Amino acid sequence: MRSRRADYSESTRSALVDSAVELFTKRGYAGTSLDEVAKRARVTKGALYHHFSGKQALFEAAFDAVEGEVFDRLTKIMQGPGAPWERALDGLRTFIKSCLDPAYQRIAIHEGPVVMGWERWREAEDHFSFGLVRTSLEDLVAAGEVDDVPVEITARLLFGALSSAATVIAGAEDQKKVGAEVEAVIIQLLNRIRRPSGDRAT
Amino acid sequence: MRSRRADYSESTRSALVDSAVELFTKRGYAGTSLDEVAKRARVTKGALYHHFSGKQALFEAAFDAVEGEVFDRLTKIMQGPGAPWERALDGLRTFIKSCLDPAYQRIAIHEGPVVMGWERWREAEDHFSFGLVRTSLEDLVAAGEVDDVPVEITARLLFGALSSAATVIAGAEDQKKVGAEVEAVIIQLLNRIRRPSGDRAT
DNA sequence: ACGCACAACATACCACGGGTATGGCGGCCG
DNA sequence: CGGCCGCCATACCCGTGGTATGTTGTGCGT
C-alpha cells in the first residue's frame, strides 16, 4: 500500500519538473527564476529545494524527462519489426521529428552541454538518444549493411549533424519542406556508405 | 596623427576582451563575473560598461575575437594555391585543428548559440567559419568536384558534424589519434560524394 | 597659455535571484 | 495518542549584473 504522503510528494515533484521543462524551454536556463518555476507549480521555493539540491539538479530532472520521452518513442521503433536498414531509416525519421520539439531542442541539445557541462551531458546522452544512434549504427555494421567504419566516431559525427539539422529545421519558415530536404540529404548520404547487397554478410 | 587617448582607450578595450576570452573559456559565461574580468584587465566595472553595453556585448566581442583568428587562418588557405579539392581538404584539416582551441570550442561553438541566441549566432557564423565552409562547398559544386547537393543544408550538416567532432577530440585522452580518425572518416565520406574525374566540368 | 568640454574611467548604490536557515503543519508509526 | 519526521513555507543573506553619479586628464579652441 503506497502511502498518501508519498503520492503528494511525487505529485508536487512532477509538477515542478513539468513547470521547469516549460519555462526552461521558453526562456532558457539563465532566463528563468526558481521562484517562477515554483509559482507555476503552485508551491514555494522551499518545496523546490526540498526535492532538488539546486537549479542544476532541477535542470537535470527536466533533461531526463524530455530525453525519456524521445527515448521511449525511438526504442519502440528500433525493437519493432523489419530489416535493420529500414528500421534505421524509420528511426532516423522519428529522431528528426523529435528534434522539432522545442523542449527537446533547447533543453537536451542546446543548453544541456552548457548547463550540465559537456562531460556529464555526454554520459547522460549515452543512455538516451545518442546511445540509440550508436547501437543502431553498430547493428548496421554487424549486419554488414554498411562498410566497417569506426562506430564511435561516426556516430558522434552523425549525431552532431542531426542535431544541427534539427536546429535548422526548427528555425526555418517552411519546416515541412526543409525537413524533407534534410531527410533526403541524409538518406542519400547513408545510401552511399551502404554496401552493395552482394557484399553483405548474412 | 592618432591621439593619445584613442591609444589608451583601444588598449584597455582589447585588454578587457582578452580577459573576457580567457575567463569565459575557463569558467564559462555564467561562471565569470564582470568584476573578475575588469580586475584581470586592471580596471573597474565602470570602464567595462563604458566600452560595452553589458555582459552580452562583452561576450560578443570575445566571440568576434576568437572567430576572427580562425577566420584569418582559414581564408589564407582558401585563397592559396592548389586545386579546389586539395584546398578544401587543407581547410578541413585546419578547421579541425582550430576547433581544438579551448577558447574557440567553448565560446564560439558551445556557449555562442546559448548566450547570443541561436538566431544571432547563426547570423554571426555566416560571416565567419560557417560562411567559409559553405562557400567552400559551393566552390566544389561549381567546379563539378562533387555531386549537385543542396549546399545550404549540406553545409549545415557538415558544420554540425565537424563541431561535434571537435568536441570529441578535445575531450579525448589521445587527441592526436582521435583527430586522425575523425579526419579519416570525414575524408572518406567526402570521397564518396566526389564525382569520378571523368564526369567533372572543367 | 589657459581653461573649457568631453571622453575615459572610478565609486557608490540598487535590485534581483540563487542559496540557506529556521519554523510549522500534518500524516504515519510505535 | 503522542512524539517524530517528512514535506513544505517564510525570512533572510549575499554575490552579481546593471545604473547613476563623481573625478581626472587629454585634446582643442581662442
- What is the predicted pLDDT for the residue at A101? 93
- What is the predicted pLDDT for the residue at B120? 96
CA separation for the pair B19, B74 (Å, rounded):
25
Residue A147 pLDDT greater than 90, yes or no: no
pLDDT-derived band at B201, boundaries 50, 70, 90: low
Judge if the beta carbon of B45 is closer than 7 A to nucleic acid strand D. Answer: yes
Set of cell numbers at residue B25? 573559456
Considering only CB atoms, A192 lies closest to which of B163, B185, B192, namely: B192
- What is the predicted pLDDT for the residue at B7? 81
Mean pLDDT of A161-170: 92
| Alpha-carbon distance values, A142 to A5, A152, B107 (Å) | 50, 14, 39
B107-134 confidence digits (pLDDT tens): 999 999 999 999 999 999 999 999 999 9
- What is the predicted pLDDT for the residue at B5? 73
Residue with cell 585546419: B94
Closest CA to A62 of A9, A117, A100, A115: A115
| Tally of helices (H runs) and strands (E runs) in chain B | 11, 0
Q: CA angle at residue B94 from B62 to B152, to 5 degrees?
A: 80
Chain A residues with CB under 8 Å of a chain B CB are 28, 30, 110-111, 113-114, 118-119, 122, 149-150, 153-154, 156-165, 167-168, 171, 178, 181-182, 184-186, 188-189, 192-193
Set of cell numbers at residue B172? 579525448
Residues B138-142: contacts with CB within 8 Å, 24+ apart? B139/B84, B139/B88, B140/B84, B140/B85, B140/B88
First-to-last CA distance in chain A? 52
DSSP, collapsed to helix, strand or coil, labels residue B108 as helix
CA separation for the pair A43, A194 (Å, rounded):
54
CA separation for the pair B186, B11 (Å, rounded):
42
- Cβ contact B193–A192 (<8 Å): yes
- Is residue B4 classed exposed, middle or buried when 0-12, 13-18 and 19+ CB atoms within 10 A define those classes? exposed
For CA atoms B79, B83, B85, B86, the dihedral sign is: negative
Give the 3-state DSSP-derived string for B19-32, with helices as H, strands as E and coil as C: HHHHHHHHHHHHHC
- What is the predicted pLDDT for the residue at A171? 87
pTM value?
A: 0.93
- What is the predicted pLDDT for the residue at B107? 98
Residue A1 pLDDT greater than 90, yes or no: no
B24-65 confidence digits (pLDDT tens): 999 999 999 999 999 999 999 999 999 999 999 999 999 999
Residue A202 pLDDT greater than 60, yes or no: no
CA separation for the pair A85, A154 (Å, rounded):
17
CA separation for the pair A37, A80 (Å, rounded):
38
Residue A200 pLDDT greater than 80, yes or no: no
B147-196 confidence digits (pLDDT tens): 889 999 999 999 999 999 989 998 899 988 999 999 999 999 888 888 88
CA separation for the pair B49, B52 (Å, rounded):
5
A66-75 confidence digits (pLDDT tens): 999 999 999 9
Q: What's the DSSP call for residue B194?
A: B
How many Cβ atoms sit within 10 Å of the Cβ of residue B151? 17
- What is the predicted pLDDT for the residue at B1? 66
Report, in ranges, which bases of strand C sit under 7 Å from a protein C-beta.
7-12, 16-23, 27-29
Residue A197 pLDDT greater than 90, yes or no: no
| Alpha-carbon distance values, A2 to A6, A7, A12, B14 (Å) | 7, 8, 16, 63
First-to-last CA distance in chain B? 51
The partner residues of A194 in beta bridges, in order of sequence, read: A146
Residue B202 pLDDT greater than 60, yes or no: no
Mean residue pLDDT of chain A comes to: 93
pLDDT-derived band at B88, boundaries 50, 70, 90: very high
CA→C1' distance for A43 and D4 (Å): 24
A2-22 confidence digits (pLDDT tens): 777 788 899 999 999 999 999
Mean pLDDT of B4-26: 94
Half-sphere exposure of A30 (CA within 13 A, CB side): 14
CA→C1' distance for B187 and D8 (Å): 58
Mean residue pLDDT of chain B comes to: 93
The partner residues of A106 in beta bridges, in order of sequence, read: none
Residue A188 pLDDT greater than 60, yes or no: yes
A97-142 confidence digits (pLDDT tens): 998 999 999 999 999 999 999 999 999 999 999 999 999 999 999 9
Residue with cell 567552400: B136
Judge if the beta carbon of A9 is closer than 7 A to nucleic acid strand D. Answer: yes
Among B14-18, B81-85, B142-146, B196-200, name the most confident range: B14-18
Q: CA angle at residue A100 from A35 to A17, to 5 degrees?
A: 25
- What is the predicted pLDDT for the residue at B171? 87
pLDDT-derived band at A201, boundaries 50, 70, 90: low
Mean pLDDT of A80-92: 92
DSSP, collapsed to helix, strand or coil, labels residue B146 as strand
Mean pLDDT of B99-107: 94
Residue A51 pLDDT greater than 90, yes or no: yes
